[in-house]
Structure 1
Amino acid sequence: MRDINYVFLLLALVAEIIGTIGGFGSSVFFVPLGNFYFDFYSVLGLTAIFHLSSNLSKIFLFKKGLDKRLLIYIGIPSILFVIIGGIASKLLDTYFLEICLGLFLVGLSLFFLIRSKIVFSAHNKNAIIGGSLSGFSAGLLGTGGAIRGLTMSAFNLEKSVFIATSAFIDFIIDFSRTFVYYNNGYIHKHDLKYIPFLIIIGLVGSFLGKKILAFIPQSVFRKTSLYLILFIGIVTLFLLFIR
């Protein structure tokens, strides 16, 4: 087990737990945290593989039905645009992508903190637009769950159905972008040693997140998560500007 960064693995577990409870998905925490330890492209590759296991566990833990309408109207555009975003990521400089990630995290957190009551209309058009944006963001920056969550919240789903449907869509997004990232050369042999750990972390983190969610109101944890996302985004930008 030499050359394994256990601090990174601990942060990955925390990211999975908070992402499950806060409703934003673990990638919004995992990507910027992983970026402190690995190059940006390696983080994208690890994120895709990490999410495959965590989303499978969420589908199993919250298996109370899937919303087939949203699987079509959000899922299909997400698959198409995650491929486009994944291809575009190879064409752009990593420094530029890291700046985009930092700005995305800051903008996302401020938007939800200021406009906490915002709700989109439950129209198929909005579902398609939200799916396209979340897929493109996931492919380009490694995270798009928050955009998808905002889109899905308009449809007033029961909590377990919401999480299971979101996890299923996220799973097919990750499955699609894994092939794109592999073709781009983002999945490196020297990083593969982390995959068994991340698979276990995905399962354990989702399980712990579900247990904690039964005792802590999601609204309370969601706001705390937003402040943490804001802090991570600011730190990401600061480190880039002093580099």
Structure 2
Amino acid sequence: MTPIMFAFFAASFAAAAVASVTAFGTATLLIPVASLILDLRQAIVLVAFFHFFSNAFRLMSLWRHIDRHTALLYGVPAVVFAFIGAWLFGNIETGALSLIFAVFIIAFAVFSLIKPDFRLPDSDRTLVTGGVLSGLSAGLLGLAGAIRSMFLISTKMSKETYVATAAAISVVVDITRISVYTANRELSGENYWLILPLIAIAFGGTYVGTRVLKNISHRTVRFSVLFLLIIIGIQTILAELR
């Protein structure tokens, strides 16, 4: 195993563990590493598979905590727009969109840290809007978690409900976009072998992360989410300006 491949698998384990606490970050942490061994388009599609398995294992552990009302209102538009985004994946320049999303995420996170009591309006319209934005981002950029968490972390749900509901939405969105990627043969045949070890790594990282989640406070989870949003936003901007 080459050092770069080892680094990719190690980063995959860490990403699965972190995402089990913050409910996002897998794709953002992994795509830059995966792009060291694959071209960017291949990296986005491969990480989509890993993202699916990580969320599926997380959902198996926490399914009793799902907020079904939120999952439906957020998840349905997310699935529809993930399909649209995945369909547009090969036909649109995503650089400008990435910058817009990054600035939006950073502004929200900084404001929420300054104003810790701030919450987005607790309404069905807010959830639907979040679903549209995160679904489109998932299909086009492979980065839906930051947008989704920005909306869900503003609710009053418990940490377990937050992570479980985010995982439930993610699984359906991932199935949608992976189906389109596969139908369009976006992942080259020689890279399919990577999926099997990534399944095992997703299980291990998720197992560790869900154990950590049980022993930390909701406040710690919220702070971790907002801090990671800022890092992801900055990372996205730097990547697009290179």
TM norm structure 2: 0.85
CA contact (8 A) 1:79 1:176 kept: yes
- CA deviations 1:178-206 (Å, max 9, x no partner) are 11111232121111111011111211111
Matches within 5 A, 1:137-216: 137-216=137-216
CA contact (8 A) 2:106 2:230 kept: yes
**How many positions carry a matched residue from both structures?**
236
Query: 4+ runs of 1 displaced by more than 4 Å?
Result: 1-4
Matches within 5 A, 1:91-102: 91-92=91-92, 96-98=93-95, 100-101=97-98
Which ranges in structure 1 are unaligned for 5 or more consecutive residues?
Answer: none
Deviation at 1:231, TM superposition (A): 5.0
CA contact (8 A) 2:8 2:30 kept: no
What corresponds to 1:131 in structure 2? 131
Relative distance call for 1:3 and 1:28 in structure 2 (3 A) is closer
What corresponds to 1:47 in structure 2? 47
d(CA) in 2 for partners of 1:138, 1:165: 17
The letter for the 1-side match of 2:119 is V
The letter for the 2-side match of 1:142 is G
Choose the corresponding residue for 1:111, options 82, 90, 108: 108
| Residue range with higher mean Cα deviation, 133-142 or 122-131 | 122-131
The letter for the 2-side match of 1:115 is S
Residue 89 of structure 2 aligns to a residue whose secondary structure is helix
The letter for the 1-side match of 2:157 is L
What corresponds to 2:85 in structure 1? 85
What corresponds to 2:70 in structure 1? 70
| Residue range with higher mean Cα deviation, 115-124 or 169-178 | 115-124
d(CA) in 2 for partners of 1:89, 1:64: 34
Deviation at 1:140, TM superposition (A): 0.3
Matches within 5 A, 1:6-25: 6-25=6-25
d(CA) in 2 for partners of 1:214, 1:237: 36
The letter for the 2-side match of 1:225 is L
TM norm structure 1: 0.85
CA RMSD across the alignment:
2.5
| Residue range with higher mean Cα deviation, 7-16 or 26-35 | 26-35
Deviation at 1:128, TM superposition (A): 0.9
Deviation at 1:235, TM superposition (A): 4.2
What corresponds to 2:31 in structure 1? 31
CA contact (8 A) 2:109 2:230 kept: no
Residue 24 of structure 1 aligns to a residue whose secondary structure is coil
